[in-house]
């Protein structure tokens, strides 16, 4: 089997965004189902395929027309293996009778909560759940093939690269379009494998795409194609990338000579710096921060769960993060903050009483600062949104205890000040009656 061209791989990566792409035995069968009487692709029939990937019906018709203009060999590709789950869609194409060569194509992020959250988890996890699913598909479902090409767009490109790294023995090449990169834990775990596999990996991205700026790319070559689309969808659209590419007669991209847009270049640097800082957080800090971000990503973009589910997951992530922050700051919410033992330091003379009163004022101020600090943590971490969580309950108990101790301190300070005032009055009275200053006489 002749290896598919870069254009054909990009066509398949776009094709994977159609909901019914895994329901046809060959590419040609799918195209025939969309033809009008004159033989051209009918846009009305195209819509029945379930247009995805932010493509319009018109763009999808153009995509299928490009596929129809491809070689007969391309159109004879058979779908031999597939997986179509909410979090992962992948297809394995091969020619009939060819038991050695195959092409595996991964779709970009599905619309589910877990799919979007999985993207963020790639920053702190060595292997995400969806990456493991992709590896299983290549390793086991497609394991009968000795020479596999992997490809995909966006998260699909990330999965293609991931499977190329872990299946060096059977994946001969990888072409990833606008792919997300890999986090520090993955690089630490698979550094040697990544170095070996990189020779077979190439990425092609729009010069103003933002997803390929996330995390670290692993490839022998990262090239960019100028994209005139400036809207958020157009910057990362697989069809926009196809539309922007120019190909030679062999189907190779010939205009991947652009420089990455300045803002996207700086975004890449910022992402690397932030993830590096997150990875040096003590304990589970990186995971706790990332899970909050994952809950936000899944909540904002996931379309398979209701608002209550998204809210609960966000609250759980915030509760875990808040507990981590309290532990890291060294705030022991179970510690006995009682200050009654301060009374043991009281003295019988005026100077001792005043000194004890000053000590109590210092303790009072420290407890007040601690109370304000805890209140600030609650506000910053939005604990009001997590009213029934364990950390909220612990903080409320601590605040109640602090309020009780403040009341005790107020009473002690007030009593001591009254005693000091009485003693001073007695001193004044005695001085007046005896005509002597007791302080000077004592000295």
Q: For position 130, which CATH number holds?
A: 3.40.50
Residue with tokens 């990833």: 176
Q: Which of 193, 53, 166 is nearest to 109 (CA)?
A: 53
Same domain membership, residue 224 and residue 346 = no
Same domain membership, residue 216 and residue 92 = yes
In the prediction, which pLDDT does 50 show? 93
In the prediction, which pLDDT does 343 show? 40
On whether residue 154 sits in a domain, the answer given is yes
On whether residue 305 sits in a domain, the answer given is no
In the prediction, which pLDDT does 364 show? 66
Same domain membership, residue 109 and residue 30 = yes
In the prediction, which pLDDT does 369 show? 73
d(C-alpha 128, C-alpha 133), whole Å: 9
Antiparallel, parallel or unpaired: β 201-206 and 147-153: unpaired
Tokens of 358: 């000053």
On whether residue 244 sits in a domain, the answer given is yes
Beta-ladder partners of 177: 153, 204
Same domain membership, residue 110 and residue 203 = yes
**Cβ of 378: how many Cβ atoms within 10 Å?**
18
In degrees rounded to 5, what are phi and psi of residue 96? -55, 130
Same domain membership, residue 94 and residue 230 = yes
Same domain membership, residue 243 and residue 162 = yes
In the prediction, which pLDDT does 246 show? 98
Same domain membership, residue 369 and residue 267 = no
In the prediction, which pLDDT does 352 show? 59
In the prediction, which pLDDT does 403 show? 76
Same domain membership, residue 355 and residue 269 = no
Q: Domain range holding 374?
A: 339-384+409-437
Handedness of CA 74, 77, 81, 85 (dihedral sign): positive
Q: Which of 325, 299, 332 is nearest to 383 (CA)?
A: 325
Looking at the structure of the chain, the number of domains it has is 2
In the prediction, which pLDDT does 381 show? 61
Answer yes or no: are the C-beta atoms of 240 and 206 closer than 8 Å.
yes
On whether residue 393 sits in a domain, the answer given is no
On whether residue 311 sits in a domain, the answer given is no
pTM here? 0.75
Same domain membership, residue 225 and residue 101 = yes
On whether residue 201 sits in a domain, the answer given is yes
Query: In residues, how long is the chain?
Result: 443
Element (H, E) at 148: strand 147-153
What CA–CA distances, in Å, run from 309 to 87, 196, 245, 302, 418? 17, 42, 41, 11, 58
In the prediction, which pLDDT does 225 show? 98
In the prediction, which pLDDT does 390 show? 59
**Cβ of 188: how many Cβ atoms within 10 Å?**
10
pLDDT tens, residue order, the chain (443 aa):
678 999 999 999 999 999 999 999 999 999 999 999 898 999 889 999 999 999 999 999 999 999 999 999 999 999 999 999 999 999 999 999 999 999 999 999 988 999 999 999 999 999 999 999 999 999 999 999 999 999 999 999 999 999 999 999 999 999 999 999 999 999 999 999 999 999 999 999 999 999 999 999 999 999 999 999 999 999 999 999 999 999 999 999 999 999 999 999 999 999 999 998 898 888 888 999 999 999 999 998 888 888 999 999 999 999 898 888 888 887 765 554 444 444 444 434 555 566 666 666 666 677 777 777 776 666 666 544 544 555 666 677 777 777 777 777 777 777 777 777 777 776 666 555 544 444 444 44
Tokens of 237: 């659209």
């Amino acid at each position: 089997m002749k290896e598919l061209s870069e254009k054909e791989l990009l066509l398949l990566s776009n094709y994977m965004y159609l909901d019914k792409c895994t329901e046809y035995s060959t590419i040609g069968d799918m195209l025939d189902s969309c033809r009008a009487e004159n033989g051209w692709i009918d846009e009305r029939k195209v819509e029945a395929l379930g247009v995805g990937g932010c493509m319009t019906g018109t763009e999808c018709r153009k995509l299928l027309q490009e596929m129809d203009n491809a070689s007969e060999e391309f159109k004879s590709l058979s779908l031999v293996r597939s997986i179509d789950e909410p979090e992962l869609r992948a297809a394995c194409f091969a020619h009939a009778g060819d038991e050695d060569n195959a092409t595996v194509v991964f779709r970009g992020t599905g619309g589910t909560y877990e799919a979007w959250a999985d993207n963020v988890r790639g920053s702190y996890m060595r292997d995400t759940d969806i990456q493991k699913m992709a590896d299983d598909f290549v390793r086991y479902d497609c394991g009968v093939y000795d020479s596999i090409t992997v490809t995909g767009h966006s998260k699909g490109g990330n999965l293609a690269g991931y499977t190329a790294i872990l299946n060096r023995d059977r994946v001969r090449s990888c072409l990833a379009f606008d792919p997300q990169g890999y986090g520090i834990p993955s690089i630490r775990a698979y550094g040697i494998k990544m170095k070996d596999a990189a020779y077979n990996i190439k990425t092609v991205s729009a010069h103003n795409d933002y997803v390929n700026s996330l995390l670290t790319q692993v490839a022998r070559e990262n090239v960019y194609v100028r994209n005139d689309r400036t809207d958020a969808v157009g910057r990362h659209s697989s069809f926009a990338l196809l539309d922007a590419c120019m190909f030679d007669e062999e189907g190779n991209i010939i205009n991947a000579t652009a420089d990455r847009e300045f803002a996207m270049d700086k975004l890449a640097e910022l992402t690397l710096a932030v993830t590096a800082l997150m990875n040096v957080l003590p304990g589970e800090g990186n995971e706790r921060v990332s899970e909050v971000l994952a809950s936000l990503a899944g909540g904002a973009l996931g379309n398979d769960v209701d608002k209550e589910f998204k809210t609960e997951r966000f609250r759980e992530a915030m509760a875990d993060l808040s507990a981590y922050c309290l532990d890291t700051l060294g705030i022991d919410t179970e510690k006995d903050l009682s200050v009654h033992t301060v009374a043991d330091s009281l003295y019988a003379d005026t100077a001792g009483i005043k000194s004890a009163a000053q000590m109590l004022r210092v303790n009072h101020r420290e407890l007040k600062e601690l109370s304000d600090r805890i209140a600030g943590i609650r506000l910053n971490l939005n604990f009001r949104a997590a009213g029934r969580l364990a950390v909220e309950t612990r903080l409320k108990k601590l605040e109640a205890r602090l309020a009780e101790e403040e009341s005790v301190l107020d009473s002690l300070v007030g009593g001591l000040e009254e005693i000091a005032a009485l003693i001073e009055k007695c001193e004044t009275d005695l001085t007046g009656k005896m005509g002597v200053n007791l302080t000077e006489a004592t000295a």
